[in-house]
Structure 1
Amino acid sequence: KKSFELNFRSEYGPGVLNYQVFPNRDFSVFNKLVLRSGSQDYNGAFFRDILGSELMEPSTTVEVQAYKSIILYINGRYWGIYDIREKVDEYFVATHFNVEKETANVVRADSSVSYGSMSGIYKIINYAGSHDMSLSSNYQYILDRLDINSYIDFWVAETYSTNNDIINTRYINSSVYDNGKYKMVFYDLDFAFYRYARNYYAFMIDPAGMSDLKVSTMLMRNLMKNATFRSTFVQRLKTNMEEIWNQANVSSKIEMLYEKMQPEMPRDHARWDIPTSDWEEEVDKLRNFVAVRTQYLMNQTKSFFNLSDAEFREIFGEFI
């Protein structure tokens, strides 16, 4: 079951789609869209990726793709459940920040460039790796160029969800928006919400990097040497747990998506020769993840940040 990209080219018509595809977006002109099949999760729970988007949609610091679930037919043939998604590219930056696309930069964690230049984010990462980040003056260099709340909230989301496929991380910015500060996009979550006991802190500061790509952890490894950053991380973890990643909220989103998908799943699975019982088991894995993830995360947080019992109770008491 493959995903598709829709490119609206001028040789076939206006060159854009002018339609309010997503009710929760205040723009209605699209150059490209993605028809997402569930990707690596198509024969799993199917909705891990849109679960993450649904949860982070209220965030004011981290960007997410809008989605709309549909039933797809191609030339009259049933193709199954798909999600229409925004494509994370220069047009995504232009519409989300209300800027011209030519001002955008979209760079992956592996330093490959989707649009624009990698020089800005490379300078940030290289500076962090070559300067003592425990010093306030050096930390200020990062703050002037990176939206630190966006960066932390992104990593809180990755930490809770234990996303294992991190190389598709996108840094985005516009030279004319928020002083050109880089912000984060939370997406591509087909390998998230699996390993509830995983110590993600160890994963995200591993000197070997993620997928053996050392640069992928260089920024976080060095920022964690700064006391202000560590304190801010803990406080934003608390806020995000209260507002987004608490068990009741995550569970309610899972059930909402399950109930929306469940009536159509047997037909989709018949089309792609997948036992529906497997899907039910995968959704149960999500439920089990949520039931225990908070406790593992709290224990790991207390240890990683060296919080005393009193400090831990004061900050995270409601989650103990």
Structure 2
Amino acid sequence: MKRSTFTILFLLASLLSWSQTPSADSLDLPLELDFIPAGGFYLDNVEVELVAPQGKIYYTLDGSKPTSRSKPYQGPIKLDATTVIRAVAINEDKTSLLLGNTYFIDEPDTDFPVISLGISPYLLFDPYQGIFMQGSRAVDSLWQKPGANFWTRREFPLHVEIYESDGRCVYNNMSGFRLFGGMSRLFPQKSLALVARNRYGQKRFDYPIFGKDGPDKFKYLVLRNSGSDFGKSHIRDILMTNLVNDFDLDKQASRPSHVYINGTYWGIFNIREKVNRYFVADHNDVDKDSIDLIEHRLTLKRGSKREYLRFIEFVEQNDLGNQRNYDYIASKMEIENYMDHQIAQIYFDNQDAGGNIKFWRPQTEDGRWRWILFDTDWGFGLHQHDAYKNNSLAFHTEEDGPSWPNPPWSTLLLRKLLDNQDFRQQFVNRFADRLNAAFSEETVMAQYDSLYQMYAPEMPRHLQRWRLSERKWKNHLNRIRTFAAERPTYVRMHMMDKFNTGGQRELHVETTSGGSIVINNNLRIRSDKDFDGIYFENYPIHIRAVPDYGYRFSHWEGITLEDNQRSFELQLRKHQYIFRAVFEPFAHPLLGQVVINEVAPLNKKSGDWIEIYNHTKKRVTLTDWVITDLKNEWTIPQAAIDPNDYLVICRDSSKFFSQFPNAYNVVTGLGFGIHKRKETLALFSRLGAVVDSISYEVPPSDSAFTLSLLLPELDNADPENWAIRFGEGSPNLPNPYFLESTIRSTQTLWLQMGLAATVLVLCVVLLVLRSKGHI
């Protein structure tokens, strides 16, 4: 009885499990529809079969949406020119998804990705209703053509395929699109914004179109006609945004592409990110619905204007030359981000930059305003062959400019900040740093040459498509080269006039292997390349020698300092300075014994903090030791660590102790923030030898986390010995490495699966043996 009961129960459970497994027919799945062969690039004519075993197929060849009124499929479709086939399968009960494939027939080879768009030609080109057309309501006598169809803001569905440069189709789906841009809509090639939504079948463009260093999925993508640079260089905006890759700026990634609309070649479009709340979230690890995003003067795009109105009212009504007032404003904005934004726009001579701005803040108690760099194509001599002479510094600090392009409200913040001596000192030196490095002729020409090599083979086809002048294109390329060569000289002259800088001073620095030199906590000079720059007599600069792991700073050559300081302020009294930092191999006695054990980057609740562990049997004094990142350093005040114990260094004491009220041996006031995605931190002894150093690069995350060393005795220079722990962290406590170890997690998972499989096999064997009467 027991044996039969066991067997019956086992069979019932099996039947129940089987009965709950849905068949394909029971699921409400769309009809299958296949294209044979798939879309792609073909050297010759191609025949395409459409296969739908359970439905009747209807298709179009002009890009329009297929319906039951479209042409019915009756046999292979013969193609002798590039064509978008869109199709749908229909039966009495259901339909397939709206599918499409593009067949590129004998198209030129390219190193660019290729994008194919399929959409009703009527929607685009109807003389009265088409959104690429003026239509009947445009005021033709005005150059902006108000009332024209192309000023619509409506969104329309279309079919999108993205092919990589190697021919792979990496995206094929329905999407939404809108016309994009301002006055560039007047050009025959119009910019387009693509958007992924659930109702179109996919809520993100799930492909890292800009490569591994950019986001791996996008809500929006822009196909840009180069804006005001259409018909000119076609690379201005991309060149300028590429020049600020190392700046403290949010800026759009870019990539050139060839676009086809309904099988017709539509020219080169630059793929760009769309600057909106999704862009901010993708680049800053914030919640897209918890930000204030504003453009122009007070056009709200997300969140609230309230904090910005308070901020700008304080600026208007208070003297920022007063240090207390300045410190308050500095607590409400990212100063270095704003400096970099202004410095870039001034150097570019972007004549459309005054009020054409976007800025945002996280909606937190300590959220600070940040500015986004975008739409720079009016720079680098777009409308003027000798624009390199323009005094853009005066333009951006004009007190009473016209309503466009630089009204008083657009220059107010920079004017008021420059009243503060600390800001002015930092602004002048930071600008000088940028002119010496990112905006030097050598750097700009390297970026230009890279873009030219990329675009030059592809441009003739684009120019022919839109009947554009090759001579004009080359003239604008020459303008860019001239601007790169001449601009730094004129900007320095403008700075000398504006800031009473005194004379220009030449600086030549170099370093031996084993370390680097940091200038103004901004520029890092390594041993593989000497540095030549120009600074200003009345604006001292800060110099710091930073040894690499396994080295220490030895001395300076070419300059005499008291106590052989590793870091000093250089008063620029002489016309020229030439010196070198010398480093020597050195293993500190505590190397690998006093270690960075846990790091909490950009933590909203506890603030940033670093935990240091003493793995020795002796008390270690850390007074006057130094913590650094790539650009900043902070000297530890009086502090020590007992044997096998911890020291915690935090940035914000009130935040930290609100989360960890029982924490002990805590030093507060860390002088810089810790980057959440990519950072290098080092711990130096009082005499400048590296005691410990770590680097990390992790995926973006909205959640709080710490990076924890798995075991104190492991090499913390090896990323494999670190784990990401989500949550607030464990200062003053051992790291629970066993919970986060990827290897152990994987081993545990396989062990559990193996045990489950073993139990299942044993049950089956027992059942068989019982059924045969062996047990």
- Give the counterpart of 1:227 among 411, 416, 421: 421
Change (3 A) 1:200 1:6: same
Kindly, what percent of the aligned residue pairs are identical?
31
After superposition, where does 1:49-88 map in structure 2 within 5 Å?
Answer: 49-59=237-247, 61-88=248-275
Shift of 1:39: 1.1
Is the contact made by 1:121 and 1:171 (CA closer than 8 Å) also made in structure 2? no
In 2: Cα distance, 1:272 partner to 1:119 partner? 46
Change (3 A) 1:212 1:183: closer
In 2: Cα distance, 1:154 partner to 1:38 partner? 21
What's the counterpart of residue 396 of structure 2? Answer: 204
Deviates more, 1:120-129 or 1:3-12: 120-129
After superposition, where does 1:15-34 map in structure 2 within 5 Å?
Answer: 15-34=203-222
What's the counterpart of residue 232 of structure 2? Answer: 44
What's the counterpart of residue 140 of structure 1? Answer: 327
The amino acid of 2:192's aligned partner reads F
In 1: Cα distance, 2:394 partner to 2:360 partner? 25
Deviates more, 1:107-116 or 1:149-158: 107-116
Structure 2: unaligned runs, 5 residues or longer: 1-188, 382-386, 509-531, 536-775
- Give the counterpart of 1:250 among 431, 444, 452: 444
Stretches of 4+ aligned residues off by more than 3 angstroms: 314-317
Deviates more, 1:123-132 or 1:143-152: 123-132
In 2: Cα distance, 1:231 partner to 1:211 partner? 27
Shift of 1:77: 0.8
In 2: Cα distance, 1:314 partner to 1:264 partner? 42
Is the contact made by 1:90 and 1:101 (CA closer than 8 Å) also made in structure 2? yes
Change (3 A) 1:104 1:137: same
Shift of 1:11: 1.2
What's the counterpart of residue 281 of structure 1? Answer: 475
Shift of 1:13: 0.5
SS of residue in 2 equivalent to 1:101? coil
Shift of 1:314: 6.3
SS of residue in 2 equivalent to 1:142? helix
Change (3 A) 1:64 1:105: same
Shift of 1:116: 2.0
Aligned length: 316
Shift of 1:12: 1.0
Q: TM-score, normalised by structure 1?
A: 0.94
Shift of 1:126: 2.1
In 1: Cα distance, 2:499 partner to 2:310 partner? 27
In 1: Cα distance, 2:468 partner to 2:332 partner? 47
SS of residue in 1 equivalent to 2:400? coil
Is the contact made by 1:25 and 1:66 (CA closer than 8 Å) also made in structure 2? no
The amino acid of 2:237's aligned partner reads D
Structure 1 residue 124 corresponds to structure 2 residue 311: yes
In 1: Cα distance, 2:442 partner to 2:302 partner? 38
Per-residue CA distance 1:15-60 (angstroms, 9 max, x = gap): 221111111535312111111111110111111110111111222x
Per-residue CA distance 1:55-77 (angstroms, 9 max, x = gap): 11222x11110111111111111
In 2: Cα distance, 1:160 partner to 1:84 partner? 25
- Give the counterpart of 2:342 among 132, 155, 158: 155
Structure 1 residue 171 corresponds to structure 2 residue 365: no
What's the counterpart of residue 14 of structure 1? Answer: 202
Is the contact made by 1:238 and 1:315 (CA closer than 8 Å) also made in structure 2? no
In 2: Cα distance, 1:313 partner to 1:6 partner? 50
In 2: Cα distance, 1:268 partner to 1:36 partner? 14
Is the contact made by 1:16 and 1:31 (CA closer than 8 Å) also made in structure 2? yes
The amino acid of 2:397's aligned partner reads I
- Give the counterpart of 1:318 among 502, 526, 533: 533
Is the contact made by 1:93 and 1:173 (CA closer than 8 Å) also made in structure 2? no
The amino acid of 2:334's aligned partner reads D
In 1: Cα distance, 2:406 partner to 2:331 partner? 29
Shift of 1:308: 1.6
In 2: Cα distance, 1:218 partner to 1:94 partner? 28
Shift of 1:133: 1.0
In 2: Cα distance, 1:303 partner to 1:96 partner? 37
SS of residue in 2 equivalent to 1:292? helix
Shift of 1:230: 0.5
Shift of 1:221: 1.3
In 2: Cα distance, 1:126 partner to 1:279 partner? 46
Is the contact made by 1:55 and 1:244 (CA closer than 8 Å) also made in structure 2? yes
Is the contact made by 2:351 and 2:405 (CA closer than 8 Å) also made in structure 1? no
- What RMSD in Å do the two structures reach over aligned CA positions? 1.8
Shift of 1:208: 2.5
In 2: Cα distance, 1:259 partner to 1:37 partner? 19
Per-residue CA distance 1:144-201 (angstroms, 9 max, x = gap): 0110000001111111111001122111222359x31111211201100111111111
What's the counterpart of residue 286 of structure 2? Answer: 99
Per-residue CA distance 1:223-262 (angstroms, 9 max, x = gap): 1111111101012112222331111001111111112111
In 2: Cα distance, 1:237 partner to 1:305 partner? 12
In 2: Cα distance, 1:208 partner to 1:7 partner? 40
Which structure has the larger Rg? 2
In 2: Cα distance, 1:47 partner to 1:258 partner? 8
| Structure whose residues are more often helix by fraction | 1
Shift of 1:130: 0.9
Higher relative contact order (CA 8 A, sep 6+): 1
In 1: Cα distance, 2:467 partner to 2:334 partner? 45
The amino acid of 2:400's aligned partner reads A
The amino acid of 2:295's aligned partner reads R
The amino acid of 2:446's aligned partner reads S
In 1: Cα distance, 2:364 partner to 2:433 partner? 29
In 2: Cα distance, 1:175 partner to 1:96 partner? 16
Change (3 A) 1:289 1:212: closer
What's the counterpart of residue 666 of structure 2? Answer: none
Structure 1: unaligned runs, 5 residues or longer: none
Is the contact made by 2:286 and 2:362 (CA closer than 8 Å) also made in structure 1? yes
What's the counterpart of residue 180 of structure 1? Answer: 367
In 2: Cα distance, 1:113 partner to 1:18 partner? 29
| Structure whose residues are more often strand by fraction | 2
Shift of 1:7: 1.1
